[in-house]
Structure 1
Amino acid sequence: MSTLPRVSRSLLRDAAYERIRHAIIDGSLAPGAPLRDADLAEELGLSRAPVRQALLRLAEDGLVVSKPQSYTRVAEFDADDVRDAVRLVRALHELAVREALPRLGPAQIAAMRAANERFAAAVGSGDVGAAIEADDELHDVPVRACGNRAVAATLGRYTPLLRRLEYARFSSLPAQRSVKRHNELVAALEAGDGATAARVTSTIWTDLEALLEDS
């Protein structure tokens, strides 16, 4: 008899959550699209229970709206919510780079440079998903290094709202400028210049807020 452990319900719920969330962020599930647990369960090859749990969690994240016995659908884009999220995310990333600075070594600096190279290549080829993934990887380095779990958890909660904006308006993003900003950030961290690293970090996210103001 096989001794393989059974897949837990929590893993199924998490898998459903991650896949539905990504489809909302990248626009595969458009704003206002109805979300029927039976249809999603069939598409994902899961039972309805983990899908329902995932939808409840996505509602808490602000990506899904639901009215009992009436509807469940993808949340419409709300500029005020995104603006609030940008400002919170900016402040937390500034905190992360300051707290991470004493803990960053050559390996982390190299990882950030490599992520920015992937980001630049993805921008050049117009690969939105790869660009956003590389951008996440770059900024995750100081977040992980700072060791502040509250920062990491809060960023995990609110960053998807910003990534949704970036997917929808990638052609308007100052992406080439972001490549330069990333290089400035890495250089400041390598030099141990926390003040400059925090300033550049603030500018990176302020550029995104400016895009929102112009929309």
Structure 2
Amino acid sequence: MRAESRGRADRSTAVGRVAAHLRGEILTGALDPGTPLREEQLAARFGASRHTVRAALARLAAERLAVAAPYRGVRVTSFDGDDILALQHLRMALECEAVRLAGERHGSVWPAEALAPAEAALDTLAALAGQAGLDADASGESDPDWLDVETAHADFHRALVEASGSPRIIEAHAALGSELRLFLLHVRPHYTVDALLAEHRDLLEAVQRRGAEALREHLARSAALLVDGRASPSA
């Protein structure tokens, strides 16, 4: 490999490593919304160049996990009420249309191959709920790995979209992946893993029977939880 090509590969690997670490901290809540992400500090922390850190932050900004503002630098994304509603409106447009198309393809009882990815995500949530229960029995506290919960939740909604068979809707929805996982982190105070599992089990049945309207109601409820929580004096 030529030195120039090897250098590009090394930088790409370093960028990916820094981005992955920061992504995990954002999605688990280790970095609070609005936290500054300063190049110099991060470069020292990761033993990386500022160029590498800058590229990693650009990657996170492209995923909407971070925002860059003139004179303020880069910060962890925070949602205000308008942001929440805008994201949910976009989700609604994509996911509800996907479910409508899935209904046209499969009818009111989807075939096993269409249901399998969503059911696999529910199985993962069930395992996480079970682990949380074991932890609670052992210590009196329940502390599931919320990053795994976010991933399983995202996998479930992606499975509903993929049941549509629409490549363009699937692609557009995939671009929201990290932002949707961040959204779930913000609604975390309102859910246990058991409650999340039960709600999505019901949803999988409801979207087959009632179509897009069931999903629209589901998304509206989750948006209302977060908007109302932000408006509450105790939030």
Counterparts of 2:173 and 2:85 in 1: how far apart (Å)? Answer: 14
- What are the Cα deviations for residues 126-155 of structure 1, in whole angstroms up to 9, with x where unaligned? 422222211111222232343434433433
Match of 2:35 among 33, 36, 44: 33
Which 4+ runs in 1 deviate beyond 6 A? none
Unaligned runs of 5+ in 1: none
Out of 95, 112, 115, the residue aligned to residue 121 of structure 2 is: 115
CA distance in 1, matches of 2:34, 2:206: 42
Q: Which residue of 1 aligns with 2:215?
A: 201
RMSD: 3.3
Matched, 1:151 2:157: no
Give the greater-gyration-radius structure (CA). Answer: 2
Matched, 1:164 2:199: no
Change (3 A) 1:157 1:78: farther
Q: Percent identity?
A: 30
Q: How many residues align?
A: 208
Query: Which residue in 2 is equivalent to 1:106?
Result: 112
Correspondences of 1:32-181 after superposition (within 5 Å): 32-44=34-46, 46-68=48-70, 71-101=73-103, 102=105, 105-123=111-129, 125=132, 126-127=143-144, 128-173=146-191, 176-181=194-199
- 5+ long unaligned stretches in structure 2: 133-142, 230-235
Q: 1:198 to 1:67 in 2, by over 3 A?
A: closer
Q: Residue 102 of structure 2 contacts residue 164 of structure 2 at CA under 8 Å; is this kept in 1?
A: yes
Q: Deviations over 1:102-128 (max 9, x none)?
A: 376423423322321322342461422
Judge conservation of contact 1:83–1:212 (CA < 8 Å) in 2. no
Cα pair 2:84 2:227 within 8 Å, conserved: no
Q: How far apart, CA to CA, are the structure 1 residues paired with 2:42 and 2:68?
A: 15
TM-score, structure 1 normalization: 0.74
CA contact (8 A) 1:38 1:48 kept: yes
Aligned partners of 2:85 and 2:223 also within 8 Å: yes
Please report the TM-score for the alignment, with normalisation by the length of structure 2.
0.69
Q: Once the 2 structures are TM-superposed, how far is the Cα of residue 169 of structure 1 from its aligned partner?
A: 3.8
